[in-house]
Amino acid sequence: MSTPKGSGVKPVRVHHIREAKEHGERVTMLTAYDLPTARIFDTAGIDMLLVGDSVGDNILGHANTLPVTVDEMIPHVRAVSRGAQRALVIADLPFGSYEASPEQALATAIRMVKEGGANAVKFEGGERVVPQVRAITGAGIPVMGHLGFTPQSENILGGRRVQGRGPAAAERLTKDAVALQEAGAFAVVLEMMPAPVAAQITEVLSISTIGIGAGAACDGQVLVWLDMAGMGDWSPRFAKQYAQLGAALGAAAQEYVAEVKSGAFPAPEQSYLQ
Protein backbone atom coordinates (compact mmCIF):
# COMPACT_ATOMS: atom_id res chain seq x y z
CA MET A 1 0.00 0.00 0.00
CA SER A 2 1.37 3.39 -0.96
CA THR A 3 1.86 6.21 1.51
CA PRO A 4 -1.24 8.41 1.75
CA LYS A 5 -0.92 11.64 -0.22
CA GLY A 6 0.30 14.81 1.43
CA SER A 7 3.46 16.38 2.78
CA GLY A 8 5.52 14.58 5.40
CA VAL A 9 4.89 11.16 6.89
CA LYS A 10 1.20 10.31 6.94
CA PRO A 11 0.18 7.49 9.28
CA VAL A 12 -1.65 4.43 8.01
CA ARG A 13 -4.98 4.04 9.72
CA VAL A 14 -7.93 1.67 9.50
CA HIS A 15 -9.65 3.52 6.68
CA HIS A 16 -6.52 3.16 4.55
CA ILE A 17 -6.69 -0.63 5.01
CA ARG A 18 -10.33 -0.55 3.94
CA GLU A 19 -9.48 1.59 0.89
CA ALA A 20 -6.71 -0.82 -0.10
CA LYS A 21 -9.26 -3.65 -0.20
CA GLU A 22 -11.61 -1.57 -2.33
CA HIS A 23 -8.81 -0.74 -4.79
CA GLY A 24 -7.38 -4.25 -4.94
CA GLU A 25 -4.12 -3.06 -3.36
CA ARG A 26 -2.28 -5.56 -1.16
CA VAL A 27 -1.14 -4.62 2.32
CA THR A 28 1.85 -5.76 4.38
CA MET A 29 2.30 -6.65 8.03
CA LEU A 30 5.24 -7.87 10.09
CA THR A 31 5.56 -8.55 13.78
CA ALA A 32 7.72 -6.19 15.82
CA TYR A 33 8.61 -6.31 19.48
CA ASP A 34 10.98 -3.38 20.06
CA LEU A 35 11.79 0.14 18.93
CA PRO A 36 14.78 -0.53 16.61
CA THR A 37 13.00 -3.11 14.46
CA ALA A 38 9.81 -1.04 14.47
CA ARG A 39 11.77 1.93 13.07
CA ILE A 40 13.42 -0.20 10.40
CA PHE A 41 10.16 -1.80 9.24
CA ASP A 42 8.31 1.50 9.41
CA THR A 43 10.93 3.18 7.21
CA ALA A 44 10.80 0.21 4.82
CA GLY A 45 7.12 0.90 4.18
CA ILE A 46 5.44 -1.91 6.14
CA ASP A 47 1.77 -0.93 6.51
CA MET A 48 1.01 -2.63 9.82
CA LEU A 49 3.20 -3.70 12.73
CA LEU A 50 1.78 -6.48 14.88
CA VAL A 51 3.03 -6.65 18.45
CA GLY A 52 2.10 -10.30 18.68
CA ASP A 53 1.82 -12.54 21.68
CA SER A 54 4.40 -14.45 19.63
CA VAL A 55 6.78 -12.36 21.73
CA GLY A 56 6.41 -15.26 24.15
CA ASP A 57 8.11 -17.95 22.09
CA ASN A 58 10.26 -15.65 19.94
CA ILE A 59 11.64 -13.19 22.50
CA LEU A 60 10.78 -14.22 26.07
CA GLY A 61 11.79 -17.87 25.80
CA HIS A 62 8.42 -19.50 26.44
CA ALA A 63 7.52 -22.74 24.69
CA ASN A 64 4.42 -21.11 23.19
CA THR A 65 2.28 -17.97 23.45
CA LEU A 66 0.08 -19.13 26.33
CA PRO A 67 2.11 -17.81 29.31
CA VAL A 68 2.30 -14.24 27.97
CA THR A 69 0.58 -11.66 30.18
CA VAL A 70 -0.84 -8.22 29.51
CA ASP A 71 1.84 -6.69 31.73
CA GLU A 72 4.52 -8.38 29.61
CA MET A 73 2.91 -7.20 26.38
CA ILE A 74 2.50 -3.52 27.19
CA PRO A 75 6.20 -2.53 27.27
CA HIS A 76 6.68 -4.14 23.85
CA VAL A 77 3.58 -2.39 22.47
CA ARG A 78 4.83 0.92 23.87
CA ALA A 79 8.28 0.48 22.32
CA VAL A 80 6.88 -0.38 18.88
CA SER A 81 4.41 2.50 19.04
CA ARG A 82 7.25 4.89 19.76
CA GLY A 83 9.25 3.54 16.84
CA ALA A 84 6.47 3.70 14.24
CA GLN A 85 5.65 7.00 12.56
CA ARG A 86 3.66 5.59 9.63
CA ALA A 87 2.62 2.00 10.30
CA LEU A 88 -0.62 1.01 12.00
CA VAL A 89 0.38 -0.60 15.32
CA ILE A 90 -1.77 -3.57 16.34
CA ALA A 91 -1.47 -5.25 19.74
CA ASP A 92 -2.41 -8.85 20.43
CA LEU A 93 -4.62 -9.54 23.42
CA PRO A 94 -2.88 -12.46 25.14
CA PHE A 95 -4.54 -15.66 26.29
CA GLY A 96 -6.72 -15.15 29.35
CA SER A 97 -7.18 -11.42 28.84
CA TYR A 98 -10.42 -11.35 26.81
CA GLU A 99 -12.19 -14.72 26.84
CA ALA A 100 -14.11 -14.33 30.11
CA SER A 101 -16.39 -11.49 29.05
CA PRO A 102 -16.78 -8.46 26.78
CA GLU A 103 -16.01 -6.30 29.81
CA GLN A 104 -12.67 -8.07 30.36
CA ALA A 105 -11.81 -7.76 26.67
CA LEU A 106 -12.63 -4.05 26.61
CA ALA A 107 -10.55 -3.39 29.73
CA THR A 108 -7.56 -5.14 28.16
CA ALA A 109 -7.98 -3.33 24.85
CA ILE A 110 -8.14 0.02 26.64
CA ARG A 111 -4.84 -0.75 28.37
CA MET A 112 -3.19 -1.61 25.05
CA VAL A 113 -4.28 1.74 23.60
CA LYS A 114 -3.89 3.95 26.66
CA GLU A 115 -0.70 2.47 28.14
CA GLY A 116 0.83 0.91 25.03
CA GLY A 117 -0.11 3.45 22.38
CA ALA A 118 -1.58 0.83 20.03
CA ASN A 119 -3.86 1.91 17.19
CA ALA A 120 -5.82 -1.36 17.16
CA VAL A 121 -6.00 -4.76 18.86
CA LYS A 122 -6.17 -8.35 17.61
CA PHE A 123 -7.49 -11.50 19.21
CA GLU A 124 -8.46 -15.01 18.21
CA GLY A 125 -11.81 -16.65 17.57
CA GLY A 126 -14.93 -16.44 15.43
CA GLU A 127 -18.57 -16.31 16.47
CA ARG A 128 -17.66 -17.00 20.10
CA VAL A 129 -15.86 -13.63 20.42
CA VAL A 130 -18.44 -11.51 18.58
CA PRO A 131 -19.62 -9.89 21.86
CA GLN A 132 -16.01 -8.92 22.62
CA VAL A 133 -15.53 -7.43 19.15
CA ARG A 134 -18.70 -5.38 19.50
CA ALA A 135 -17.74 -4.11 22.95
CA ILE A 136 -14.28 -3.01 21.84
CA THR A 137 -15.29 -1.44 18.54
CA GLY A 138 -18.20 0.22 20.31
CA ALA A 139 -15.63 1.98 22.49
CA GLY A 140 -13.84 3.29 19.41
CA ILE A 141 -10.97 0.79 19.27
CA PRO A 142 -10.42 -1.02 15.94
CA VAL A 143 -10.31 -4.83 16.04
CA MET A 144 -8.51 -7.32 13.80
CA GLY A 145 -9.75 -10.90 13.98
CA HIS A 146 -7.76 -14.14 13.73
CA LEU A 147 -9.05 -17.44 12.31
CA GLY A 148 -7.67 -20.78 11.16
CA PHE A 149 -4.83 -22.04 13.28
CA THR A 150 -5.13 -19.98 16.45
CA PRO A 151 -2.00 -20.46 18.61
CA GLN A 152 -3.78 -19.75 21.88
CA SER A 153 -6.00 -22.79 21.22
CA GLU A 154 -3.19 -25.14 20.23
CA ASN A 155 -3.98 -27.57 23.06
CA ILE A 156 -7.52 -28.22 21.84
CA LEU A 157 -6.41 -28.14 18.18
CA GLY A 158 -3.76 -30.79 18.81
CA GLY A 159 -0.74 -28.62 18.02
CA ARG A 160 0.21 -26.59 14.97
CA ARG A 161 -2.13 -28.13 12.41
CA VAL A 162 -3.68 -26.78 9.21
CA GLN A 163 -7.33 -25.83 9.76
CA GLY A 164 -10.27 -25.70 7.36
CA ARG A 165 -9.76 -28.96 5.50
CA GLY A 166 -13.01 -30.40 4.21
CA PRO A 167 -16.27 -28.67 3.23
CA ALA A 168 -17.71 -28.49 6.75
CA ALA A 169 -14.58 -26.96 8.25
CA ALA A 170 -14.27 -24.48 5.39
CA GLU A 171 -17.90 -23.44 5.83
CA ARG A 172 -17.34 -22.96 9.56
CA LEU A 173 -14.37 -20.67 8.96
CA THR A 174 -16.32 -18.65 6.41
CA LYS A 175 -19.22 -18.19 8.83
CA ASP A 176 -16.79 -17.12 11.55
CA ALA A 177 -15.17 -14.59 9.20
CA VAL A 178 -18.54 -13.10 8.24
CA ALA A 179 -19.52 -12.91 11.91
CA LEU A 180 -16.35 -10.97 12.72
CA GLN A 181 -16.99 -8.59 9.85
CA GLU A 182 -20.59 -7.98 10.92
CA ALA A 183 -19.42 -7.37 14.50
CA GLY A 184 -17.18 -4.54 13.29
CA ALA A 185 -13.71 -6.03 12.72
CA PHE A 186 -11.71 -4.11 10.10
CA ALA A 187 -9.58 -7.09 9.01
CA VAL A 188 -8.93 -10.74 9.84
CA VAL A 189 -5.78 -12.84 9.92
CA LEU A 190 -6.16 -16.22 8.21
CA GLU A 191 -3.50 -18.61 9.49
CA MET A 192 -2.52 -22.07 8.22
CA MET A 193 -5.51 -22.99 6.09
CA PRO A 194 -5.83 -24.33 2.53
CA ALA A 195 -5.30 -21.57 -0.03
CA PRO A 196 -8.69 -22.20 -1.73
CA VAL A 197 -10.48 -21.74 1.60
CA ALA A 198 -8.65 -18.46 2.25
CA ALA A 199 -9.47 -17.34 -1.30
CA GLN A 200 -13.17 -18.10 -0.71
CA ILE A 201 -13.19 -16.12 2.54
CA THR A 202 -11.38 -13.22 0.88
CA GLU A 203 -13.95 -13.16 -1.90
CA VAL A 204 -16.88 -13.18 0.52
CA LEU A 205 -15.60 -10.46 2.85
CA SER A 206 -15.59 -6.73 2.29
CA ILE A 207 -12.87 -6.35 4.95
CA SER A 208 -9.22 -7.27 4.39
CA THR A 209 -7.82 -10.75 4.93
CA ILE A 210 -4.21 -11.01 6.07
CA GLY A 211 -2.68 -14.39 5.26
CA ILE A 212 0.00 -16.39 7.02
CA GLY A 213 0.26 -19.82 5.50
CA ALA A 214 -3.03 -19.19 3.68
CA GLY A 215 -1.98 -18.68 0.08
CA ALA A 216 -1.62 -15.73 -2.26
CA ALA A 217 -5.27 -14.71 -2.67
CA CYS A 218 -5.45 -12.87 0.66
CA ASP A 219 -5.56 -9.08 0.65
CA GLY A 220 -2.27 -8.92 2.55
CA GLN A 221 0.39 -11.03 4.22
CA VAL A 222 2.02 -11.20 7.65
CA LEU A 223 5.10 -13.00 8.93
CA VAL A 224 6.95 -13.18 12.21
CA TRP A 225 9.93 -10.98 11.46
CA LEU A 226 12.50 -13.44 12.82
CA ASP A 227 11.22 -16.05 10.34
CA MET A 228 11.27 -13.53 7.50
CA ALA A 229 14.82 -12.39 8.27
CA GLY A 230 16.40 -15.79 8.93
CA MET A 231 17.16 -15.28 12.60
CA GLY A 232 17.13 -19.01 13.34
CA ASP A 233 18.05 -22.35 11.82
CA TRP A 234 14.38 -23.20 11.23
CA SER A 235 11.33 -21.38 9.93
CA PRO A 236 7.78 -22.54 9.11
CA ARG A 237 7.03 -23.93 5.66
CA PHE A 238 4.91 -20.88 4.83
CA ALA A 239 7.69 -18.39 5.65
CA LYS A 240 10.22 -17.14 3.14
CA GLN A 241 13.63 -16.06 4.46
CA TYR A 242 14.51 -12.76 2.80
CA ALA A 243 17.86 -12.55 4.61
CA GLN A 244 20.13 -14.60 6.87
CA LEU A 245 20.50 -12.11 9.70
CA GLY A 246 21.07 -14.78 12.31
CA ALA A 247 24.15 -16.08 10.52
CA ALA A 248 25.40 -12.53 9.87
CA LEU A 249 24.95 -11.57 13.52
CA GLY A 250 26.75 -14.70 14.66
CA ALA A 251 29.66 -14.01 12.31
CA ALA A 252 29.90 -10.43 13.57
CA ALA A 253 29.99 -11.63 17.18
CA GLN A 254 32.72 -14.17 16.36
CA GLU A 255 34.82 -11.47 14.67
CA TYR A 256 34.37 -9.22 17.69
CA VAL A 257 35.54 -11.99 20.04
CA ALA A 258 38.59 -12.65 17.87
CA GLU A 259 39.60 -8.97 17.66
CA VAL A 260 39.19 -8.34 21.39
CA LYS A 261 41.27 -11.40 22.25
CA SER A 262 43.97 -10.49 19.71
CA GLY A 263 44.08 -6.85 20.75
CA ALA A 264 42.99 -5.60 17.31
CA PHE A 265 39.97 -3.92 18.91
CA PRO A 266 39.85 -1.19 19.98
CA ALA A 267 42.20 0.32 17.39
CA PRO A 268 43.42 3.94 17.59
CA GLU A 269 40.38 5.12 15.62
CA GLN A 270 38.11 3.75 18.37
CA SER A 271 40.19 5.34 21.15
CA TYR A 272 40.53 8.78 22.71
CA LEU A 273 44.22 9.58 22.37
CA GLN A 274 44.24 12.80 24.39
Q: Write out the catalytic residue numbers.
A: 191
Helix 130-138 vs helix 167-183: angle between axes, to the nearest 10 degrees? 20
Alpha helices (H) along the chain: 14-23, 35-44, 55-58, 70-83, 102-114, 130-138, 154-157, 167-183, 195-204, 225-228, 245-262
Half-sphere exposure of residue 37, counting CA atoms within 13 Å on the CB side?
Answer: 21
| Cα–Cα distance for residue pair 35/40, rounded to 1 Å | 9
| Residue 274 CB coordination number (10 Å) | 2
Contacts of residue 206, defined as CB under 8 A and 6 or more positions apart, other chains included, come to: 21, 181
Cα–Cα nearest to 97, from 126, 61, 136, 59: 136
| Cα–Cα distance for residue pair 214/199, rounded to 1 Å | 8
| Cα–Cα distance for residue pair 193/181, rounded to 1 Å | 19
| Cα–Cα distance for residue pair 74/174, rounded to 1 Å | 32
For residue 266, what are the β-bridge partners?
none
Three-state secondary-structure class, residue 31: strand
Cα–Cα nearest to 196, from 176, 216, 222: 216
